[in-house]
Chain A
Amino acid sequence: MVAESPIDQFVIKQVFDVGSLPVTNSAIFMIAILVVASFIMIFGTSSRALVPGRLQSLSELAYEFVASTVRGTAGQDGMRFFPMVFSLFIFVLLSNLIGIIPYTFTVTSHIIITFALAALVILTVILYGLYRHGTHFFHLFVPSGVPILLVPLIVMIEIISFISRPISLSVRLFANMLAGHITLKMFGGFVTMLLVSGSWAAYLAPIPFVFTIALTALELLVAFLQAYVFAILTSVYLNDAIHPGH
């Protein structure tokens, strides 16, 4: 018995076509994210109750959580980017959470998705920074109070650090999701392999099973944490665009 490869869960499968656009499992789960997000945030708030019900509490909680993150990191000025940060947070969070359900597909386990989201953030930072501050935006790379001799070195370091931001932002999320799901799949695979081994080893099967349960709990935490990290780093980078002068 050969166990299914732990990376098969990341394969993009074409389900059907809409015109020339292929509808893949990834696309279906993205649409699922959109549906769930709309259900919670729009259907859940449709009664506009002064005393909220469960779904409305959930939406208000999400709003307050992201709003306080943005406000705390980028200040009141940063609130103009609140809808973007909120959309990113809810997209990443739902993608991560839906991905934990067995036999589903994790949209954010693909580097191209996380990189596209990170690129969106960095492009927003650059474009807004230039729009708001013009060339003053480049003061971001020249911290004040640095001895003139050190300036070229510091500027180089700052530029490298700026360029590495989209990379670290996207790779962090991608690698977390990928590694978590591979680990889950491997421990799950151990359970079946031990069970079908037909020897005394079958009695060891509960051990990886317990690990799988514990890892699922850990993955729930990671799913939330990575979405939060993505949102707060986005706020931090946006803060640079709003206040580049340090």
Chain B
Amino acid sequence: MRRLLALAVGTATGLFGVSARASDFDERGVLLPDAKAVAFVDFEGDSFDLDTDYVEPPESPGDCKRGSTLVPSPTALSGGQVLHVDLTKFGCADRFRFRGVPAKKASYRATVWLRHGAVDAQLTALYSKESGLTTRYAKLAPTGRATSDGWVELASNELPVDGESLESLYLKVYDFDSVGSELDALELVPSGDYVEEAACSGAFDPVCGDEGFCRYGRCVLGRLHVPPLPHPDVRGQVVDRMRGLFELFFGARKTRTRDLPRALERLESLRSATSAWAFWNGFALAVRELHDWHTRSRGDVQFAGGGGRLNACFIAGVADVTALYWPRDPMYDDVLVSHVGKTASGLAQGDRLVAIDGQHPVAWALGLKAIDWGFWQACDDRVFAEAIERLRELIPAYARTITYFACDAASGACEETPRTVEVATLVSDEGYLTCDNRPAYYLTSGNPGSDHDVGYKFYEGAVAGTAEGEKIRALIWDTLYGSGEPNGYVNSSLKKAYAAFKANARGVILDHRAGNGGTLDGAETATTLMRGPGTALVFRSPIDFARDDGPATEAEGLAIFNAWKSATPYSVGSSSHDPALPVAVLLHRDGSASDFFPYGIKGASPKVRIFGAGPTAGAFSTYYTLDPPGSLAFQLASGDSIGADGSPLLGHGVEPDEVVLQRQSDLVAGRDTMVQRAVDWLRTELKP
């Protein structure tokens, strides 16, 4: 009987990690530190000194001040004092070291109890540069244990620590609000086995095992970046809740009928997960299975391993110079280097990336779904602009080799044989380069900088290479975040530019090729230059009726449109628009409000023409951001938009009036194919 019991306990511990909990409580609710703990800090007496146990930040924003104080508390979990954490500046944190960590290789789990508010907490093992070891940390998150007097247990998963080479092992913490939080009963307990940090190559290198993956040439232990496996008593409830959120609130006609079932299947598999990584990465993968532009899991794990990005940006295009040497993929566009910054590892504008680890770059990027927490996909199945935009960060993190055709701007020629280089030899970015799908700028003055950081700014001016009398002007911008403020920065900037166009331009380019969306009013304002008033669609987002799959027929869609066209319209155009002014709208990677904007002008006038590499993302909804306690968050798209014809729109991007793919020959020569084509069209339509 005794043997059976021991076996049962051992199995439970192995299966559920969290069962190896640290402190416990007696029948009165008095905390009992774990006898195996190598450190127990109750923030009083000899266990802690606020000054000498404080660790200076290894990297600091500069003006951080310690925000923790010791506060007497008769309801302390241990003793009569707690640590009150109240950092005043975001980005700052306090760090307190563990004393007496054994000088040996071991693995530890940290727990601490939190009361009031919320904190971000992590256990960090800091090594000196001379040690050659990578500083590693494990995030703390609630285990589910809570006390009647307000304490909540936070715990990390097991962190391997080389005590011989350790500079410091400490708790890093910051609070969320201006009032602060209390911590007590910090504990460090040996748990698990020491795991050497292994070198690896390629995202799925088997050397990293099932509990991790390869990033930047080092195995990442997944568990360090996710919460503990939920306590077995409530694990089913957590999965039920995840399932409820998906089923009740997620999505629209397309994503609910096609993608949701696969995600729910993935969620069900979590019930039998046996590790924290399997559980939480499984959840994040279920989120990604929802196949939606807004729907993303976000977590500390997406930054694991540090590293940087290539100092080069990629864009979908047509490789007209090298087509003879490497055939075009039947499914995906060619991938070209759009522009580069300094130290681009030999890559140059116009180069053609043909393979990553032997696969087409898009196919390779999509294949990372199982471990890439930054995975980003359009709702429209035909669109891959998001994946291409992210290649510069994915390649150094996950690839072994890239294969590309090198081109030379001086001669205008490209090599006939592709080069294959080891990713490990490439240099990641120095400085900051943004990928905005604009190979070059073309205003006569006032262009964005060489970092391509258009972001939340607006750039307006005359188009270079056009005659003064043609009065062809352009606006370069990517944000539609009007925030419901008609006179706010975004709406005012658009109105000001449009007023100038109506007064002084004969043709206009609206260059919105990294359309990040924003709010509905921003999209509405963007349509006021070129069309009369109308209701383009109604937005029923977030979702109206729980579990609703949206209109199955045109009649159902029309009924929704008619019912809501007064209450929640997307009101486009203006009676003061300029019907004689030709407007060329340039798109490339656009979603959400940046879907609404082109949808609102599509076909509105022969004087408006949309140029794009393909459809927009088709992300016709808003979303919920959900922040569970711990080191992850996720966004869940919710609802749909219904067009005036009764169509549910999500998943169906706006088709350009003219498909224009960037030509490799233009890139090598430093030309922007789409701008060239837009100018050509405007010249045929100039306002008298």
Q: Are A and B interaction partners?
A: no
